[in-house]
Structure 1
């Protein structure tokens, strides 16, 4: 030891740790079943003298009885609080739980393992605790709140206060992996308010899994589907957890309050960790993640730099960049780049621009050609990727998965949730949404109106969509399976129009009877290729009143968002309003063949707008099927205060629709 290090160690009270040769007794993590956490081992507490500590033999560990697991079941790995029968002054109350985590969830270091160099000086003289081979929180001077040392995100020693938890549980959430085939994998469960509960997978990625494994004392982690680990019967405690990957505890990550979620146990998260001392994870530069994709293999690319998640501009973004991104994330299949905020616009900084990979790099950090943070972009140019991409389906082959035969089903809506605070839909989430476009030989005709797929060959829209360009079928095409209007999609198809049927009572100078049907080109039942992304909506019953039979209503479309026409399909929840609201606002114009809908109070106004005309207003019915109750028709302005949107009431026209389509 150099003289300088010896002096620093002496000042910080770590001399016994530096020059001592005592054997280190390691207290392993304990395994518990998925019941109430039993009492931990009992340790007598004695303040040692300031001299060099003598070797101590811990008292026998006394475990409270608890039920045995089923034969062959793996005990979940848990990080839990300890208990002690006696309480010195200034420590946790007698009979209460000893804790070995700080009040923000960082695991305490054993007092014998405190590093010689500390980030900050501790609040009190801790000489009596030097060399102690436990990691329980203490108040050495018997005055302030107990505290302990922990290792911070930079790997340096630091200290934090502990909350003794005057209730029946540990102060900080304990953590365990349950239901796995080994103690290193399983469903993530946290202990809070006396109960074990799960974590929902909204916004969950490998950075969150990394923190879970670190908190459990394991090497590194990767997210894993929770379905093999079984469903929990307890509460869902956490949702939308967002870690940077450098935290020492899950509680240090951004998250909503305990118990606030919109999930089911089908969305529980699982992780797979590597045991400490096994494996090696090479440094790959800054962390990256995929956000707001249809599944974990796709999404907007975000990178963690300067303490903040940010996006990448799509200037020069190619499939080679996508290949490196996917390789860094552990995917080995083909990769495809997506530009123009295909997966929605991000928030926060734009960290990178003009990324230039050759395709052979191990990490995106190897592809940087200009300074971090330097760009000339907006979030409308955020880059994305699709990993393990296996190309567009050949005509007539459809999905590998069987296509549902019933109408109104959304096979892909049980996925990662919506963009937080945004209105972008998820790709494939509204499979009946189609668009009516001007026909172009290049397949890039102008968007005119939205529409709803009723079957493989029939589409429902508004009659006023044909006012400007007439009702000649040669002028139009219908695009199905679209999501981003400027990016060709795997399930996208543009089909010619064979016939246009406008309701006979519609008049161009009126908004009544604003409904039309479009017959697509192709043999009966074989016009549009049905798939998980292309499915028909159901029709309502004749004269059905959706205000009484339906709930959870949405409007969708690519219309004006207030700044420009949307590139990605937008969605918005919209309440159905009493008809008197529209009768009062539109005297003499609102009829019994119309629906009144919209949320028009204050800053939360929701309405359809130009470009959404003809699109669907759909509501979920009992039995989880969706029916088209409205066709976007007219209104005063877009989301103008006190001016609800008006929709053609589809239930009033069911006999007319069925008479033409034979549905």
Structure 2
């Protein structure tokens, strides 16, 4: 799950080498069927808060998101700050990456990117954005958790991203479990990649994964990074952001940490 290199460079960049830094958004949907690497098909009808960002109501999903309030979807800033795609609609409660067979599709009326969002050499910082919807969703929003999680906590990522770096995948929602890393260890691992010297993991980010064959990938950007709440329900604690390749051993994916965006996100929870 990460954004297209078109969001980095061009649609052709979906075939970047596995050690190249990549945002985790998908292609334009005409030749990309996004999916998660090494995951399983998610239960139908269980994660209705999950949003697919689309240019047309029944078109293909290019990024993910999560409904955090009846009229607001949380996603990644780099999914919005791009000329490659425009999030005109969100699809909620759907199991599929395209079409209109299930769920609801709502027009986006406003796109609000975090004021400190910036992309430096392809790496997004402060990678959060809010989409305001034309009408309130019928779907129940996911709870937002602003507390940080302990290293080793198991998180779950869901989306319609690629099954391998630059690859295509299923049209159905997938999920994969990943363990949270220590940021210093993650930064060191990123530095050891061939292009990592120019990139750094900051305290606005959280890393998870690093197990070969299990990761988010292109097409998953903006999707929810969740842990279990006190009652066993999903709570969102991060947003799919970036990484080097997908599902590489000892190279975790990087997520935008919500604890560092509380002032930005909180006003929309009660709006």
TM-score, with length taken from structure 1: 0.32
- For residue 591 of structure 1, give the secondary structure of its aligned residue in structure 2: coil
Match of 2:25 in 1: none
Counterparts of 2:39 and 2:116, CA distance in 1: 39
Contact 1:556 1:572 in 2 (8 A): yes
- For residue 145 of structure 2, give the secondary structure of its aligned residue in structure 1: coil
Contact 1:463 1:502 in 2 (8 A): yes
Aligned length: 223
Pair 1:506-2:117 in alignment: yes
Q: Which runs of 5+ in 2 are unaligned?
A: 1-37, 192-198
Contact 2:180 2:208 in 1 (8 A): yes
Counterparts of 1:468 and 1:422, CA distance in 2: 28
Counterparts of 2:46 and 2:184, CA distance in 1: 33
Contact 2:80 2:111 in 1 (8 A): no
Match of 1:662 in 2: 270
Counterparts of 2:270 and 2:74, CA distance in 1: 14
- For residue 119 of structure 2, give the secondary structure of its aligned residue in structure 1: coil
- For residue 651 of structure 1, give the secondary structure of its aligned residue in structure 2: helix
Residue 485 of structure 1, CA deviation = 2.9
Give CA deviations for 1:368-401 in whole Å, capped at 9, x if unaligned.
xxxxxxxxxxxxxxxxxxxxxxxxxxxxxxxxxx
Match of 1:614 in 2: 222
Contact 2:64 2:224 in 1 (8 A): yes
Identify the match of residue 261 of structure 2 among 653, 658, 662. 653
Match of 1:432 in 2: 49
Pair 1:546-2:149 in alignment: yes
Match of 1:15 in 2: none
Pair 1:630-2:238 in alignment: yes
Match of 1:458 in 2: 72
Give CA deviations for 1:515-570 in whole Å, capped at 9, x if unaligned.
10011002xxxx1112xxxx2111113xx22127x944210000101351321100
Residue 494 of structure 1, CA deviation = 1.1
Match of 2:248 in 1: 640
Counterparts of 2:68 and 2:155, CA distance in 1: 18
Match of 2:94 in 1: 482
Residue 471 of structure 1, CA deviation = 9.2
Residue 466 of structure 1, CA deviation = 1.8
Residue 660 of structure 1, CA deviation = 4.2
Contact 1:631 1:647 in 2 (8 A): yes
| Alpha-carbon RMSD | 2.3
Give CA deviations for 1:433-460 in whole Å, capped at 9, x if unaligned.
1111113xxx332321000110111100
Residue 430 of structure 1, CA deviation = 1.5
- For residue 248 of structure 2, give the secondary structure of its aligned residue in structure 1: coil
Match of 1:556 in 2: 158
Residue 480 of structure 1, CA deviation = 0.6
Q: 1:486 to 1:617 in 2, by over 3 A?
A: same
Residue 635 of structure 1, CA deviation = 0.4
Residue 641 of structure 1, CA deviation = 2.4
Contact 2:59 2:98 in 1 (8 A): no
- Mapping 1:191-590, distance limit 5 Å: 423-439=40-56, 443-469=57-83, 476-486=88-98, 488-490=100-102, 492-509=103-120, 510-522=123-135, 527-530=136-139, 535-541=140-146, 544-547=147-150, 551-562=153-164, 563-587=167-191, 589-590=200-201
- For residue 574 of structure 1, give the secondary structure of its aligned residue in structure 2: strand
- Mapping 1:143-222, distance limit 5 Å: none
Q: 1:499 to 1:487 in 2, by over 3 A?
A: closer
TM-score, with length taken from structure 2: 0.75
* Higher Cα Rg, which structure: 1
Residue 487 of structure 1, CA deviation = 5.3
Contact 2:50 2:67 in 1 (8 A): yes
Match of 1:236 in 2: none
Contact 2:63 2:221 in 1 (8 A): yes
Question: Normalized per residue, which structure has more strand?
Answer: 2
Counterparts of 2:174 and 2:84, CA distance in 1: 28
Counterparts of 1:632 and 1:486, CA distance in 2: 20
Identify the match of residue 207 of structure 2 among 588, 596, 601. 596
Q: 1:493 to 1:468 in 2, by over 3 A?
A: same
Q: 1:508 to 1:471 in 2, by over 3 A?
A: farther
Contact 2:76 2:241 in 1 (8 A): yes
Structure of higher RCO (CA pairs closer than 8 Å, 6+ residues apart): 2
Q: 1:422 to 1:471 in 2, by over 3 A?
A: closer
Q: Which runs of 5+ in 1 are unaligned?
A: 1-420
- For residue 265 of structure 2, give the secondary structure of its aligned residue in structure 1: helix
Counterparts of 1:505 and 1:515, CA distance in 2: 9
Residue 469 of structure 1, CA deviation = 2.8
Give CA deviations for 1:580-600 in whole Å, capped at 9, x if unaligned.
221102345110010010041
Give CA deviations for 1:235-284 in whole Å, capped at 9, x if unaligned.
xxxxxxxxxxxxxxxxxxxxxxxxxxxxxxxxxxxxxxxxxxxxxxxxxx
Residue 429 of structure 1, CA deviation = 2.0
